[in-house]
Amino acid sequence: MPVSLTTLRAMKQRGEKFAMITCYDTIFAQTMNAAGVECLLVGDSLGMVLQGHDSTLPVTMQDMIYHTQCVARGNSNAFLLADMPFMSYGTPNDALENAAALMRVGAHAVKLEGGAWLADTVSQMARCGIPCCVHMGLTPQSVHVFGGYKVQGKTPDAAAKLIEDAKIVEQAGAALILLECVPTAVAAQVTASVSIPVIGIGAGKDCDGQVLVVHDMLGLHQGKPARFVKNFLVGQTSIQDAFVAYVQAVKTQSYPAPEHGFN
């Protein structure tokens, strides 16, 4: 039975964790399916790991449409989430048009970066049958606003705003929330405060699901990896085995360990 939003909601209610990995092509989609990865994310991270840019900002809608098509052709079981790239959802009308393009080529939901200010857009998309995941905390498309890739929600006021924003986007109709680089305790509060599934990256083990960039979790990166990254290829004999190890680590909550999170 293919994984759906209903599946993910039921897993949250049962307290069962689920695994997500970024995916950009057909063969990796098939391999992740075989390994039992519940969710695939066609991430605008492709701008960095595939295209060689220093941020996600240069990624276009055509890039996202192309890679979503590639992944959809290889996907048979996983829930498929596609990123909406920089400035593709500046207005609700832009968001509707661009999200529809991703849904038409096989996405099951789309991901937007922001917070409470997205409520109107999320609401309109939900009414049109487009499930949304709202990416909060460290939002890479706003890297120049933040002044770099920094942990978000560290102060009491910032943490309270993150929790409030999560409640607002849920009420607006968001289907999922993704938290990036948020203190573990704050992510746990957000996850407990909403009924929709919450996915974490650098947000601790209390989130309902976990996501990693595929290149990172296979040890393919330049320089020092981010704190939350673990190389799951170590000790395995194949990439598929690495994916299986990641899924099991997420489900048993051995990953992320305390050292992968932030205080």
Q: pLDDT (tens digit, 9 = 90+) per residue, 56-96?
A: 999 999 999 999 999 999 999 999 999 999 999 999 999 99
CB atoms within 10 A of CB 128: 12
- Among left, alpha and beta (phi > 0; psi -120 to 50; other), residue 153 is left
Q: Determine the Cα angle at 133 with ends 132 and 135, to 5°.
A: 140
Tell me: pLDDT of 145 over 70: no
| Banded model confidence at residue 113, pLDDT cuts 50, 70, 90 | very high
Judged against a pLDDT cut of 70, whether residue 207 lies above it is answered with yes
Report the amino acid identity of residue 98: N
pLDDT at 146: 57
In percent, the amount of the chain with pLDDT more than 90 equals 93
Note down the domain range covering 63: 5-260
Contact yes or no for 84/94 (Cβ under 8 A):
no
Q: Phi/psi zone of residue 115: left (φ > 0), alpha (ψ -120 to 50 degrees), beta?
A: beta
Tens-place pLDDT, residues 234-262? 999 999 999 999 999 999 999 999 999 99
User: DSSP secondary-structure letter at 183?
Assistant: -
Q: Is the pLDDT of residue 197 over 70?
A: yes
Distance CA 204, CA 187 (A): 7
Crossing angle of helices 26-34 and 61-74, rounded to 10°: 40
What residues pair up with 20 in beta bridges, in sequence order? 39, 211
Asked if residues 115 and 136 have their Cβ atoms less than 8 Å apart, the reply is yes
Q: Which helix (H) or strand (E) holds 208?
A: none
Tell me the β-bridge partners of 211.
Answer: 20
113 assigned binding-site residue: yes
Task: Write the CATH number for 141.
Answer: 3.20.20.60
Residue 149 has pLDDT above 70, yes or no: no
149/114: higher pLDDT: 114
Q: Across the strands, what pairs with 200?
A: 179, 210
Q: What's the CA gap between 37 and 71, in Å, rounded?
A: 14
Q: What is the pLDDT of residue 221?
A: 84
Give mean pLDDT, residues 148-177: 93
Q: How many domains does the chain have?
A: 1
pLDDT digits (tens, 9 = 90+) for 18-65: 999 999 999 999 999 999 999 999 999 999 999 999 999 999 999 999
- Please name which of 246, 214, 168, 249 lies closest in space to residue 48, comparing C-alpha atoms: 214
> What spatial distance separates the first Cα and last Cα of the chain, rounded to whole Å?
38
Alpha helices in 46-137 (DSSP H): 46-49, 61-74, 92-104, 119-127
pLDDT at residue 231 tops 60? yes
The confidence score (pLDDT) of residue 140 equals: 84
3 state SS of 12? helix
The answer to whether the annotation marks 94 as part of a ligand binding site is: no
Q: Which of the residues are catalytic?
A: 180
Question: Annotated binding residue at 83?
Answer: yes
Q: How many angstroms separate the CA atoms of 156 and 94, rounded?
A: 34
How much is the average pLDDT of 178-197? 97
What pLDDT sits at residue 222?
77
pLDDT of residue 185: 97
**pLDDT score at 142:** 76
> pLDDT-based confidence at 150, cuts 50/70/90?
confident
Neighbours of 94 (CB within 10 A): 15
> What integer pLDDT is reported at residue 148 of this predicted model?
65
Average pLDDT over residues 107-124: 97
| Cβ proximity of 262 and 227 under 8 Å | yes
pLDDT for 144 beyond 70? no
